[in-house]
Amino acid sequence: MALNIEGIEDGALTYEDNRTPPLQHTKSSTSSLKSLIAKWWLLLLNATLLTIGAIGGPLLLRLYFIHGGSRRWIPAWLLTAGFPILLVPIGILYVRQGSPRNGKFFASPKLLLCGVFIGVLTGLDSFMYSLGLSYLPVSTSSLLLSTQLVFVSVFALIFIRHKFTPYSTNSVVLMTLGSILLGISKSGDRPAGVTNAQYWIGFIVTLCSATMGGFMFTITEVSYAKVGNALTYSYVLQFQFVSAVSATVFSLIGMLINKDFSAMPREANKYELGPAKYYLVLLACAIVWQLLFLGNMGLIFCSSSLTSGVANSTLLPMTEIAAVIAYHEKFNGEKGISLALCIWGFASYFYGSYRTSKKQQVRKGTEEEPR
């Protein structure tokens, strides 16, 4: 089934109280069903992009460090440097619309300015994540990053008064416990060559990265809510494009100060896999990480920042499984239990979302019935 792009671009996925006259009840119900189907297809698409980025991104970044990469700003820059690929879907939506209708295609300057602000925060968050991952084992990094869901929940409660359901609460608890259990088995391990001071630096900056990520998810949802027009997917893509450009410029300044560009050829020549694969790893990192950010923005658009946080926490143990397969890491009982808990939490959250969606549809249908 094809994705109803036109419906999305007309704001069909927004939560507006559009009351329908009794004579148009059947037509409205059909349109509402198509809108719901389009929304779930778009949700599935963004969840897929997020999965590819959340699992592939850390593996590629670890591949950079394992085989001789030692710079911090280069990986931070790569996390957002793939922004040009966003021009493809933006261009497709523009062409499908023909000439923009009443200037509705382009996002407002206010929304784009919010994108610039979040982009700067993203650049800082990317550097902290890169620095932390260079000092910590994957399991410890995953443990700390799992707290992002807690920060998303707290910031969502503060800024948008997001209501918790028993299902979402159960999901948050289960997946946080699963991610914590995942890190317990090796949380005391310190990588060879890393001093105690460096280990704690990595610990602190990774925790700060999780906090920043939770804040950015919530602020993104607030930015979407502040849009005067009905929010469309083209707005989301433009928002992400501006954010990625801002984050890339932020990291680029760090690279220039640290003289990373002049160091790249030397690092490539010393890279264990060879210069060609060195640049291939960098290119793959840029593309895959952009899919992660695009998936996150899309999930916030389709649902909420809490949904995005839940999905990210769910994928953390899956990243560990992928690391076991790719890098032959040991898979112990704690990791198996952690994976089971996170899958349980993921199922709990989306079952709750399904029930809520059904109740909203029933309530809307009741309101639209002729009186």
Quote the number of domains for the chain: 1
Environment class of residue 86 by beta-carbon count within 10 Å: exposed (0-12), middle (13-18) or buried (19+)?
buried
Print the domain residue range for 144. 50-357
Question: pLDDT truncated to tens, each residue of the chain (371 aa)?
Answer: 333 333 444 444 444 444 445 445 555 566 666 666 777 788 888 889 999 998 898 889 888 988 888 898 999 999 888 888 889 888 888 887 765 555 677 888 888 999 999 999 999 999 999 998 888 777 677 767 877 777 777 788 788 777 777 887 887 788 778 767 755 655 456 777 778 888 888 888 988 998 898 899 889 888 888 875 577 878 888 998 999 999 999 999 999 999 998 899 999 999 999 999 999 999 999 999 989 888 887 887 777 766 777 777 778 777 877 877 787 766 667 767 877 787 787 677 768 767 877 777 777 666 655 55
CB-facing half-sphere around the CA of 14: CA atoms within 13 A:
19
* 329 domain-assigned: yes
Average pLDDT, the chain: 78
Please state, in angstroms and rounded to a whole number, the distance separating the CA atoms of residues 37 and 34: 5
**How far is residue 333's CA from residue 350's CA, in Å, rounded to a whole number?**
26
In a domain, 32, yes or no: no
CA-based torsion, 167, 168, 173, 178: positive or negative: positive
Domain membership flag for residue 198: yes
What is d(CA 217, CA 298) in angstroms, rounded to the nearest whole number? 11
pLDDT of residue 186: 53
Domain presence at residue 4: no
- Cβ neighbours of residue 264 closer than 8 Å, sequence gap 6 or more: 71, 74
With beta carbons less than 8 A apart as the criterion, state whether 140 and 205 touch: no
| Residue 10 belongs to a domain | no
Asked if the structure places residue 103 within a domain, the reply is yes
H or E stretch at 10: none
Tens-place pLDDT, residues 58-87 = 889 888 988 888 898 999 999 888 888 889
Residue 93 lies in a domain: yes
Domain assignment of residue 44, yes or no:
no
pTM: 0.73
What is the pLDDT at residue 157?
79
Q: Which letter does DSSP use for residue 233 in this model? A: H
Scan for tokens 């309101």, then name that residue.
367
Angle at alpha carbon of residue 155, lines to 285 and 179, rounded to 5°: 55
